[in-house]
Structure 1
Amino acid sequence: MSTFPKEAVSKARVLVVGDVMLDRYWFGEVERISPEAPVPVVHVAKREDRLGGAANVARNVVSLGAKVTLAGVVGQDEAGAKVRELLTQAGVQTHLVADPHHPTTLKMRVLGRQQQLLRIDFEEKPDTTLIDRMRDEISPLLDQHDVVVLSDYAKGALAKVEDLIEMARAKNLPVLVDPKGSHYGRYRGATLVTPNRSEMQQAVGQWQSEDDLQSRAQKLRDQLSLEALLVTRSEQGMTLFTGHGRDHVDAQAHEVFDVSGAGDTVLATLAVMRACGMDWPQAMRWANRAGGIVVGKLGTSIVTQEELA
């Protein structure tokens, strides 16, 4: 693999659009079972907030040394204020649409002895007015960026994803999509779509062999008019499907500690490397290396330029 393109990365400009979330962690010790119900009692000793969803993608772009702008929807609430604070600290430029009636998506996790015991989700889908406002914010930003990333966590920010793809492609910008659900027709016209193994199965069904997977993947790529389709396959590595055929790279993780947010890191790395002018096979290899690093960390996390280089 080539040397990390530090200078080119510093000039890369990535626009990330999608579901902005706050990941909240409560860490503690478990020493007894509750007398009220057969559940562990966690004595919370540490609290930590991290950026999640599209915000974590943006944070990863910055940590690699590129420039990034994040567009999405948040509430005018405590979680939304925390998201803005963390984004500012990370050096992310923001164009967030805020609404007092829309709560910021929040995932709260309770951990005891590094094991996740409980996750509580607070979320509501934004209404059409908010999505239209976000689209209006994005339109003038397109000319200022090299690549557009759409981070779909099915929280509603990308309910009109077709419009965003059309807007970006009209400017000849590559569009990378991290998909959700089984209705992939929404992503038609994107440049690259990056389903994980289970998401790919939702989209094309269970494959019986590598040849069967290739046939199904290429059919899906043709149906959606994609330049490339990248299937991330956990311990089986990553497989790229393009008009030139199939390319595969084995997983590089030495120890898998937590896969939370690994897809965000992979997506961010792909976007940065594509913005630098790399082809998809090269970009995939850098993304695979980044994914192998981040799964060795606890919770939604980032990979730094130094770690990757």
Structure 2
Amino acid sequence: MIPGPREIAACRVLVAGDAILDRYWLGSVEQISREAPVPIVQVEGEQERLGGAANAAMNLRALGAAATLLSVRGGDAADRSLQDLLEDAGIAWAGAVDAALPTTVKLRIVGRAQQLLRADFVRGLPSAAALDAFGAAFAQALPGHAAVLLSDYGRGALARVPDLIRQARALGLPVVVDPRGGDFDRYAGASLLTPNRSELRDAIGAWRDEADLAARVQQLRQRLGLQALLATRAEEGMTLFDDQGALHVPATAREVFDVTGAGDTVAAVMALLLGCGLTMRAAVPYANKAGGIVVGRFGTASVSQAELFS
């Protein structure tokens, strides 16, 4: 049964991981530079949005759920922008502060609604003291939540992710992991992994056909003690692998405009619905629908409760 607004509002999800500030410079392109064969963007506006784990939390808020974001904060101007956006969205923050850690910023330069360049400002990893504080905050926050979403963008907040998974599973909470890279061993014991096609290929190698894919994923799932694995496969849709076999859901997007943050949306919907008591097989069609909606929008985007359940 689809959860109602009251059930969703009562379902608090703990999102732990790497918060990112997504920054956009928007403008028009009228000519090519004489200095190099590149377009000249006349910048006319700027936007800042929540990215990474913060975008996953934003998706939960857009759906009407309560979200707590657990991350390692820096002490710079970008962090202040990030905190303002979280406050505006009604997202509670907990975690650790590492004043020497610059906030990860992804700057996208867009001309005529087309992304022309992305510049990543990525420096440093959290200190051991910050990770200690992060772990303590995680343990303290767990009991007040119905589900856990671990959003790994490789920036170090989830350096001790095996311990986080063990703590959450010991309390019986569903743990959804949006993984990074192809080393899935560190996510052993999670309820659900949501890798994209590229990440899954890095983890299990190239597959010959659907039967070979299923065999490889099921072997991985059993080895890591995962309840299920949801492969997001772009235009091919999504496939859930669990004890019952494989459940494939075709893609619903009519037009793909921007895939930025779509994985955050899928993971957020799965974590929310599992926290509300739905089975994974019942939740997958809604996650697929949400992913299909956000790829038709510009930048990191979210889906409303009305859109998802209409």
Q: Distance in 2 between matches of 1:98 and 1:36?
A: 43
Please list, as runs of the form range in 1=range in 2, the aligned pairs for 1:1-40 lying within 5 A after superposition. 3=2, 5-40=4-39
8 A Cα contact 2:18 2:72, kept in partner: yes
Q: Distance in 2 between matches of 1:60 and 1:217?
A: 28
Q: What's 1:119 paired with?
A: 118
Which deviates further from its counterpart, 187-196 or 4-13?
4-13
Per-residue deviation, 1:191: 0.7
Alpha carbon RMSD of aligned pairs, Å? 1.1
SS in 2 for 1:281: helix
8 A Cα contact 2:98 2:126, kept in partner: no
2:188 equivalent to 1:196: no
8 A Cα contact 1:74 1:105, kept in partner: no
Q: Distance in 1 between matches of 2:37 and 2:235?
A: 35
Q: What's 1:216 paired with?
A: 216
8 A Cα contact 2:17 2:53, kept in partner: yes
Q: What's 1:68 paired with?
A: 67
Q: What's 2:129 paired with?
A: 129
Q: What's 1:92 paired with?
A: 91
SS in 2 for 1:65: coil
Per-residue deviation, 1:37: 2.4
Please list, as runs of the form range in 1=range in 2, the aligned pairs for 1:126-275 lying within 5 A after superposition. 126-275=126-275
Which deviates further from its counterpart, 3-12 or 174-183?
3-12
Moved over 6 A (4+): none
Over residues 57-85 of structure 1, what are the superposed CA-to-partner deviations in whole Å (9 max), with x where a residue is unaligned? 00000110111100001211111001100
SS in 2 for 1:87: helix
Number of residue equivalences:
308
% identical equivalent positions: 51
8 A Cα contact 1:270 1:287, kept in partner: yes
Which deviates further from its counterpart, 90-99 or 216-225?
90-99
Q: Distance in 1 between matches of 2:30 and 2:3?
A: 46
8 A Cα contact 2:22 2:107, kept in partner: yes
Per-residue deviation, 1:4: 5.6
Gaps of 5+ in 2: none
Instruction: Tell me which amino acid in the other structure corresponds to 2:147.
Output: V
Residues 3 and 161 of structure 1: CA distance in aligned 2, closer, same or farther (over 3 Å)? closer
TM-score by length of 2: 0.97
8 A Cα contact 1:148 1:168, kept in partner: yes
TM-score by length of 1: 0.97
